[in-house]
Structure 1
Amino acid sequence: MELLQSIVNGLGQGSVYALLALGYVMIYKATKVISFAQPALMVVGGLFTYHFTREFGLPFWIGMALAVLCGAAVGMIVERLALRPMIGKPVFTLAIITIGIDIVLRILANRYIGVQSKIVTYPDGTRIHEVGGITISSQRLGLIAVTVVTVVALALFFRYTRYGLAMRATAIDQETAMAQGIRIGIVFALAWAIAGGLAAIAGTFVAAGTAGMDQNTWIIALKALPAIIIGGLDSIPGAVVGGLMVGVVEAVTATYQPDVAGWLGNNFSLVAPYALMLVVLLVRPYGLFGTKEVERV
């Protein structure tokens, strides 16, 4: 029963990692750039929800919806002002720019946060549900449900919408997509908008947790990096699976490691996702669902 409880807790936390990992993959598939700005977008998105719900008094779900729109707008602005002018530059240069964007956004966010944590009030957030001896809070249950709905909505978007097809074509070959009349700039902006919206959802539920949003909360988003490596940098299903795996491994390790392998020290659960990443890389260098690239020399 303790194992099942740990897995359920891990799935809840892993849902945050999955949402963030989806943002990483969206940007990478469209632009071939790993965005290191996701931690800041998560924090900014959570603060938008806090402001709408606590300062304006809006209901939680309306506040989160507006925060998603604002997060998407921030993502589009970042892409247009900082990255669009750098198209054609080395990928490494663009990745460094995203680090700068992350620093700037986090500095602005920290000025808003101050010394007190910003906590978003989730409806019935303290209510605990029990099923077969396994307990889960309303907040965590809502997080899992929202993650499932978001993943399904993205799958339908990519399969049945015009812009979804354009993004899929761009991910396969940018030059061919341009030759077919697809406007690459719109695809890039849309990828950043979706990544910003996903980060806002993740940030909202992080801020709705017991610790709220403080100046060190951005570190949580770094757990999404091993998630995308495990699942595959260019795989949307891999991002979801990788995020959930990281959450479960972290939770199970925190439960059993102190008793089973105490010699590993305290807080080894924080390192466990990266250990899992190394194991996966040894077996499948492109991740569990990543596309294997073959180059002729």
Structure 2
Amino acid sequence: MDEALQLLRQPKWRWIDQSAIGPHFHALQSFATDDTLCESVGTGKSPAVARSWVHHQTIVLGIQDTRLPYLQEGLNFLEQQGYKYIVRNSGGLAVVLDEGVLNLSLILPEVEKGIDINRGYDAMWLLIKKMFSDFDIEIEAREIVGSYCPGSYDLSIGGKKFAGISQRRLKRGVAVQIYLCVTGSGSERAELIRQFYQYAKQGQETKFFYPDVQPEVMSSLSELLGTPITVQDVMLRFLTFLNQNSGEILAGQLLPEEYDLFHHYYERIIERNSKFLDSE
């Protein structure tokens, strides 16, 4: 974990908080923002970035989800439940975002020997363990079978998943992204994804494996910690950690010179979404 800790100890952290923009903040803008910051950080124009973001009632699909045999029926179901949907540009499968889910991105430069993929995951796992070190809990990183978007770095307490991690690499920048189910019911979110797959797959055999979602294996931090923790509480823990592991924190939004880059990446992800969803 020493190498992971080194990644978290940056001489400067640039902090961009987009956790309270509200329901009109579209998830496509978030992924374009992380791509923009990957290029800025990777080319040395920006120090490492820590970004916090929240999106309301949005299902973020993986590319493999767009190959489901009855995708349109699944998408219709999501719309009926009041959810928007997008296809993200990093790995993984469908996840739920809402006002009780906090997303954190660490955007780091690939310097010297580069950042091994597991080192990036370990850094995020270590960050979350440090943020909740005052609780008498063990936060494990292992695949939770039956969760949505399962992976070897599912974060869980007592076998119940509350977070998932993904990575995006671009222009020598690495974005390590996590979604943290903070409030609400983890199993209700999982039930939504279970039904999405039910509508979109309809029992048909597929080349790709889609998870058989078991809602009881997913939870939120509030449920697992037995205390009404909020997104704002977690944000405070995040900022406290950054303060303790940085020479300086620079707060702000995208810089004027980054806006052209942002528009480029935003248009690219819109085109990508059209490509995957316009046949539906």
Normalised to the residue count of structure 2, the TM-score between the two structures is 0.28
* Higher fraction of strand: 2
Greater relative CO (CA pairs within 8 A, separation 6+)? 1
* Higher fraction of helix: 1
